[in-house]
Amino acid sequence: MIVALGVLLSLLAGTATASQALAAGRGDGWMYNPPFSMTFDSGDCGFPFQLTQPVSKNFTKAVSAPDGAMAFFSTGVVESTFTNLITGTTTTIKGSGNFTYTAYSDGTSTVVQHGVGVIGLSSDEAAAFGLPGLFAATGNLKISFDTNGNPTSFSLNGQLTDLCAALS
């Protein structure tokens, strides 16, 4: 299944440890997504890498719709540094913009990103769409998923940077 590294991981990690005080002034329901660090095996790029997010001014809000859909809105700025654990090569992405993950009541879902963010795909998903396993997307991105979590469509109106190649 797709993982929107940086934004989605901060959404998930941050929601569990969020501080209401840091989200003050944003309105009810906004949660702060704190910085974090995580190690990934060689599945995404063919080598293990570390994701460190030393800067996060990112906030998430969960909203449920009357039809049972659940949407997670994330907005703000994050800085994500990726390090190849074999060579020590690093690259940093400064992400900003809006990110929405929506789970619909029929079991399908969508990811919509406007701005700069990082996306990670399984090797099967990357091959199906002719994409790298880990990339930064700048612009407007949309990915749709079926009821099993498999991506069914991918569109990007913008630029894509292959982070696996940058870390090689």
Cite the DSSP H helix spans in 18-143.
123-129
**Within a domain: residue 48?**
yes
Domain that holds residue 62: 7-167
Mean pLDDT, to the nearest integer, of 90-107?
94
**Pair 155, 141: CB distance under 8 Å:** yes
Please give the Cα distance from 152 to 149 (Å, whole number).
9
- pTM of the complete model: 0.78
For 33-77, the pLDDT digits (tens) are: 888 999 988 777 889 999 999 888 999 999 999 999 999 999 999
**Within a domain: residue 1?**
no
**Within a domain: residue 117?**
yes
**Within a domain: residue 135?**
yes
- Domain count of the chain? 1
Q: Is 100 left (phi over 0), alpha (psi -120 to 50) or beta?
A: beta
**Within a domain: residue 2?**
no
